[in-house]
Every structure is written in structure tokens, then in C-alpha cells.
Amino acid sequence: MTAIVETDRPARPTRAERVAELNSLARTTPGVLTVLTGALVLVSILVGVLTAVGVRGRSAALEDLAQRSGPLSVAAQDIYRALSDADVTATSAFLSSGAESAELRNRYLTDIAQAESAIAVAVAAREPAEMSVGDGPLDVLSTRLSVYTGIIERARANNLQGFPVGASDQQMASNLMRTELLPAAEELFAAESARLAADQDRADGFPVVEVVLGIIALAILIITQVYLRRTTRRVFNVGLLVATGAALVSVLWVLIAVLGVSHNVDQSRAGSERIGELTETRIAALTARANETLTLVARGSGGAFNDEFDEIFPGLESRLGEAGLPDAETAWAKWKQVHDELREADDGGDYGRAVDLAVGEDANGARTHFDAVDEDLGTALGESNTVFTDEISQASNAVTGTVIGVIVLAVLMAVGSATGIWQRLKEYR
């Protein structure tokens, strides 16, 4: 029989021996190059992914500014202006004795239609959960506007028939407007303005993460090329040069694009601040006009309305001056002069002349001068809204293609790094 001699199998290396072997391998030139390859590929992936995510976040914020918060802020402005002007116009029409002014009637109906349209836009932009609360500003506007218009129609009908109760109805409608509808519209405008500012903040800011990652990638690429030059005595490595160029282009592209976005967003922020100031000035003018006419509707018991007018009206001059609206300032001065005349007539018992001065179609009447102030403010608001829209559009254009661009450059950086180092690794086989 043949004896079978068993040989001892070599013992498996211990964990410590494997770690020591890896450390020894890592100290060799091929080991160092392998580590650098892994680091460059990993950094390339991080640069591509995180830069793309950062740019996409800015792009999403710009989309919200252009399609949601910007238009909704304008809609909120329109709601307040249309409602306030509707109440002023309805009161003016009520004061017009005799045949109803077709111009004032059409203006009132147009204001109500504009308010309803703007409310519909704001409601459509909300999630169903946001509308289920039941006591938000949009809920108030949606449900109470029809109540207001109903009271106005009742006041109009009573007034046309000469029933004194019409004055009570008109004051009731104006009270509803001033205590419920306009505060709800103001709350909505404040909420949309806050949303607008938040979206501007999201789109703005220095790209710290993107730039830092790009600099790290460039640093590793430079270290790798210096190491290869010392160990292989070769000056250039095409793959690594391509990767370095891709990294540099990526950093500069993102930096230039984001700085452009920041500039445009800053300009839009200045525009939205001006819009807010102009809106507040227009609200003050509309409120003053409402108080002026309501004082006359109350016929001797409108002291509170007149006191509020006296509180608001003087400040309009400085507001209009700060807004840079000289034509509106001139109209304000003429309005003030006519207002003093109509108050003198009303206090002196000449109610008819006071009403004529307040709502008459005379070129020197209070209505004409108020309309001039409101029109100038409306024009300035339209111009500011256009500037805001243009700045956001330019910001969006600045990041167009950036996401795809940085991803392509990251892939090019990873492939160039791996290819360039692989050419040197093959020499060690």
C-alpha cells in the first residue's frame, strides 16, 4: 500500500498581517497611484452630484419666483387695490344724486371682476389642505366678497328710489370692506411677500459647498500631477490635464452663474421692496379717498372718517416724494386744496357743493386729482413689477444648462483622471 503523506497548508494571514501588507503596498508608487485614482473618482462624483443638487435648488427657487410667489404677490396687490377702489367707487356713485354715473358703475363692476379673478388665481395656487382651514384670508375673501356686493346692490337700489336706508346700507358695506375684506387682503399680501422673500433667499447666496469641492478636486489633481512628474520624469499627462481643465471650468462656470443669479436676485429684491413701498402708498391714498367720501355719506356723523383722513392724508406727500413721483405730488397738492374747500362747504351747510367737489367730473374736483395720484402710482407699480420679472428671467437664464454642464464635466474629470493614471500604472506590470 502506498502511504498518503499529508502536507501542512499555509496558515491564513492574520488581520494585522493583511493591514501591514496593505500599508506596504500603499507606500509603493502603484499603490499611491491607485489611492489617488480612487480619491479623484470619488471627488469627481461628489462635485458632480452636490453641485448639480445645489444649482438645481437655486433653479427651483427661481422657478417659484417666476411662476408662483412672484405672480401671487402681484395677485395679492391686485386684490387689495381692486377691493379698495371698488369701495371708493361705490361710495362715490352713491353720493352722485340723480342719474347714476355709468362711468362709476362700470368702474365698480370692473374692480369687482378683477378682485374675483385675482382671488381665483390665488386659490388655484393653493394646496387643498391650505384651503381646508376655513379662517384664512382667502377663505374670508372668497366667502365675504359676495356678501359685500349684495349689500352694495341693496344700497344702490334704495338710493335710486330715494330711500334714506340706502345710506345705512352703504356704510354697512364699507364697514364690511374695512373690517374684514381689506384686512384679509392685507394679510394675504403680507404672506405672499414673505413667501417671495423666502424664495429670493433660497436663490441667493455664495456657492460655498460647490466651490470648496471644486478646489479640493483641483488640489488633488495638482498633487497627483506633481507626484507623477517626480516619479516618472514626465511633464504632461493628457488624461489628468483634461480632468484639471474640466474641474477648473466647472468651478468657474458655477461661480459665474451663481454670482450672476445673486446680482439679479438682489436687483429683484430691491424691486420688490419698491413694490411694497408703492403698494403701501397706494393703500394710504385709497383709504384717504374712502374716508373723504364716507364722511359725506354719513351726513354730519362722519367725524371718525374725517379724523382718519386727516391722520393719513398729510403723510402721502412725503411718501410720494420718496417714491420719486412728482406728477403725483402735484395732484396730491391740488387734491388737498379741493378737499379743504369741500370740507368748508360741508361744515358750512352746503352739502350739495361738497358732494360736487368730492365726486363731480369737474377737472378740478377731488375725484379727478385722486385718480391722477392713483394712476401715477399704478404706472410706477407696473414698471416695478416689470423690472422684477425681467431680473428673475435673467437669473433663470444664468443657470440654464448648468446642471447638465457640471454633470458632464464631472464625468469628464473622473474619466480623465482614471485614464491618465491607468496609463502610468500599466508601466508597472
**Rg, C-alpha atoms of the chain:** 36
Q: What is the mean pLDDT of residues 116-139?
A: 78
Task: Classify 429 as helix, strand or coil.
Answer: coil
CB 166 within 8 A of CB 94: yes
Distances (CA, A) of 175 to 110, 152, 172: 21, 11, 5
Query: Who has greater pLDDT, 340 or 418?
Result: 340
The predicted-structure confidence for 51-70, as pLDDT tens digits, reads as follows 888 888 888 888 888 888 88
Give dist(CA 350, CA 369) in Å, integer: 21
The predicted-structure confidence for 185-211, as pLDDT tens digits, reads as follows 999 998 988 998 898 888 887 888 888
With bands split at pLDDT 50, 70 and 90, how would you rate the model's confidence at 427? low
Which pLDDT does position 1 carry in this prediction?
A: 46
Which pLDDT does position 240 carry in this prediction?
A: 86
With bands split at pLDDT 50, 70 and 90, how would you rate the model's confidence at 424? low
Query: Who has greater pLDDT, 113 or 23?
Result: 113
With bands split at pLDDT 50, 70 and 90, how would you rate the model's confidence at 166? confident
Which pLDDT does position 317 carry in this prediction?
A: 86
Which pLDDT does position 65 carry in this prediction?
A: 87
The predicted-structure confidence for 382-406, as pLDDT tens digits, reads as follows 999 899 889 989 888 888 888 888 8
Asked whether the predicted pLDDT for residue 80 surpasses 60, the reply is yes
Which pLDDT does position 119 carry in this prediction?
A: 92
Which pLDDT does position 344 carry in this prediction?
A: 92
Burial class (CB within 10 angstroms; exposed 0-12, middle 13-18, buried 19+) of 359 = buried
The predicted-structure confidence for 321-343, as pLDDT tens digits, reads as follows 898 999 999 999 999 999 999 99
The predicted-structure confidence for 220-241, as pLDDT tens digits, reads as follows 888 888 888 887 776 678 888 8
Which pLDDT does position 11 carry in this prediction?
A: 53
Segment 374-379 long-range contacts (CB within 8 Å, at least 24 positions apart): 374/85, 374/282, 374/285, 374/286, 376/325, 376/327, 376/328, 376/331, 377/278, 377/281, 377/282, 377/285, 377/323, 377/325, 377/328, 378/81, 378/282
| Ordered alpha helix ranges (H), 204-302 | 208-232, 238-298
Which pLDDT does position 38 carry in this prediction?
A: 81
Q: pTM of the prediction?
A: 0.76
The predicted-structure confidence for 1-52, as pLDDT tens digits, reads as follows 455 545 555 556 665 545 554 455 455 667 777 777 888 888 888 888 888 8
Range scoring the smallest mean pLDDT among 46-55, 146-155, 369-378: 46-55
